[in-house]
Structure 1
Amino acid sequence: MVNETGAAQQDDGGQEWIHIPVSDAAAIEVDEAYGDELLDDTTSVASTIYRHRYEHGRRYSKFRENSYWGPNDDIQNDQLDIAHHMVRVLLDDKLYLCPIKEPQRVLDLGCGTGIWCIDFADEHPGAEVIGVDISPIQPEFVPPNCKFELDDICDPWTYPENHFDFIHIGSLLGSIADWPKLYEEIYNHLAPGGYLCQLEMDIRFKSDDGTVPDDHIMAIWSKTFIEAGEKFGKTFKIAEKCKQYIIDAGFEDVHQVKYKLPCGGWSSDPKMKEVGRWNFLHCYQGAEGWALFLCTHVLEWKIEEARVFIAQFRKAVKDRNTHSYFEVVSVYGRKPLE
């Protein structure tokens, strides 16, 4: 990671980057339509970090280009916020399950729009909350105890070791090439007794009544993403692997909680019906952004093939006779006191 103090660091291509918090950087955003001629001797950050790239009508992050498959435009950001609300309903309005009390230093990895950090900062005004992401999509006006940093969590960390009370991960499936290395960083930078809490979605659509057989488009959708993730080198199966990885990293008192997350309002349970309606919107709105890069870049499909695949999935999601769901897994563990 780049240094919090603003020290320069070079990437593999020799480009020098200067770290500044996202909330302080809004004034120097450079439009994609203009080139580096806008940079002068007083510019403190490479414009390529704050530019975006556009493909098939969607906007993607320019920083660490092609290292993440999802767009960062308003459509996808709304989907991320929908997912956040959906999970809060699922967890009975909780932001996390681990039994941590009065955390002082909190880190959210892959914070996305920053909504989890903002909610956490509001609920814990005595905590310092840092959200880290490779895309500068977080708001400028946030609680005073919350800040955002543009960085790649897969780089070596420069935070002090034994520093954080709580590190949170939310839905980084398909985003990390070396999970054991990341858990090692997390372990080293948590204070003794500090908690890691991770929540992931198992993207394999299922049904208990046979309405999602193996040849159903929703089952094929899941298999396609898993295949693309393995080819991309960043697994989409972390939900089933994270508990053992966390144990292997040295954490103790590791707990795992699984939830069924319906897709659509078909459940007779009032809470699950509400969650399912949010998940329908989450899947329907998110589908194009999830699939475009992976299908065209990784699986090398033609764009027309990808769009047909997305349309078929959206049609299936709207089918009220399909009682589909996937699982959400929350795993948390504590770093030993000694």
Structure 2
Amino acid sequence: MGPDEAVLDGGDTYSIDESITAYRIENGRRYHAYRDGVYWAPNDDRQNEELEVAHNKFRILLDGRLHLAPIAHDIERVLDVGTGTGIWAIEMADEYPKAAVLGIDLSPTQPSLVPPNCSFEIDDARDCWTFPRDHFDFIHIRNLYGSISDWPALLEQVYNHLKPGGWFEHIEFGIDLKSDDDSIPPDSCLLHFVKLLKEAGDQIGQPWDISNNMLRNIEEAGFVNVVDHVYQDPVGPWAADPKLEELGRWSLLEFEIGLEGFALAMLTRVLKWSTAEVQVFLAHIRAELDDRSIHSYHDIRIVYCQKPL
């Protein structure tokens, strides 16, 4: 497959300069063309920068690791679902040079210069997977909040396409903002934003509040050796602990870069706000993010598990 091609829908290959790159331009932001409209986030450089910042934050959270699952170093096949810019898949391929690492996404925004054991395909993970059953040693999902309507169906596909004994790791951030010292004001714009995202997600049947149901869904899918970790992720550098302070700095940067992309499609397409109304609302949120007297955080949940032998 050449650098200007992508695999679609079970093997058909199309040039990615055709309909896949006929991107939707909306409210000054660029969105995917393949399966137009099913995903809320822009795929332009600005939002891709947010994904890179988030990846670095996860590296800090996991003390430099790419995953928690205790996979063997000689694994053969890895799948990254919703790979985004492909940075996790690329670094995974570097770390596991004997493994073939595949990333799938709706957008061809990944770089062309990648390790020889890393590749990308344009695909919708919600479709019926065309990979062989019992195929992958490790499947990774990170931050698909607001994009999946049927999580049990997706987890069933993960289960079916893992090798017996293979590992699955799922990472999602909890959308609810918290504060241990009650420093979030009752009329907080951030809290209102969370409420709006939940409302919009419910309207389109693609919930944002994923983390609270992850563990139950994974256990009901039949996985074993399930391990559940919940971490605190501060919004801003207010924490006394040095690691939490660093996480907070990166989390605040992620919010600042990605905020408009988080809001525009959900509030204008779904809730029918005007673009001007969204921008005024975002200005209030940014002012709140700059308020160092507010000590807010959200949870990050990481669940890893194994397909039974």
1:57-136 matched pairs, under 5 angstroms:
57-102=28-73, 103-136=75-108
2:173 to 201, 211, 216: 201
2:212 matches 1:240? yes
Which of 119, 123, 136 matches 1:147?
A: 119
Offset, 1:50: 2.1
TM-score, normalization by structure 2: 0.95
Which of the pair has more CA radius of gyration? Answer: 1
- Cα 1:324–1:156 change in 2 (3 A) is same
- For residue 78 of structure 1, what is the amino acid of its counterpart? E
Q: List per-residue Cα deviations over 1:50-108 (Å, max 9, x = no partner).
A: 22111111011111111000000000000000000011101111111111112210000
Amino acid at match of 1:110: G
Report if aligned partners of 1:209, 1:323 keep a CA contact under 8 Å in 2.
Answer: yes
Contact 1:110 1:170 in 2 (8 A): yes
Q: Answer yes or no: is the 8 Å Cα contact 1:107–1:167 preserved in 2.
A: yes
Distance between the aligned counterparts of 1:145 and 1:295, measured in 2? 40
Q: Does structure 1 retain, via aligned residues, the 8 Å contact 2:234–2:247?
A: yes
SS, match of residue 256 in structure 1: strand
Consecutive unaligned residues of structure 2, counting only runs of 5 or more, are: 1-5
Instruction: Name 1:219's counterpart in structure 2.
Output: 191
The separation in 1 between residues aligned to 2:301 and 2:63, in whole angstroms, is: 15
The root-mean-square deviation of aligned C-alpha atoms, in Å, is 1.6
For residue 238 of structure 2, give the secondary structure of its aligned residue in structure 1.
coil
Task: Give the count of matched residue pairs.
Answer: 303
Alpha carbons 2:8, 2:122 under 8 Å: kept: no
Q: C-alpha separation between the residues in 2 aligned to 1:228 and 1:325?
A: 22
The answer to whether the Cα contact below 8 Å between 1:199 and 1:328 also exists between their aligned partners in 2 is: yes
Structure 1 unmatched runs, 5+? 1-5, 11-16, 30-46
Task: Determine the C-alpha separation between the residues in 1 that align with 2:186 and 2:34.
Answer: 38
| Whole-angstrom distance in 2 between the partners of 1:7 and 1:220 | 40
Per mean C-alpha deviation after superposition, the further-off stretch among 91-100 and 214-223 is 214-223
User: 2:284 aligns to what SS in structure 1?
Assistant: helix
The answer as to whether partners of 2:7 and 2:122 remain within 8 angstroms in 1 is no
Q: 2:7–2:121: 8 Å Cα contact kept in structure 1?
A: no
How far apart are the structure 1 equivalents of 2:106 and 2:168?
A: 21
Q: So what's the TM-score if we normalise by structure 1?
A: 0.87
Question: 1:206, 1:219 within 8 Å by CA — same for their partners in 2?
Answer: no
Q: Give the stretch that moved more between structures: 222-231 or 139-148.
A: 222-231
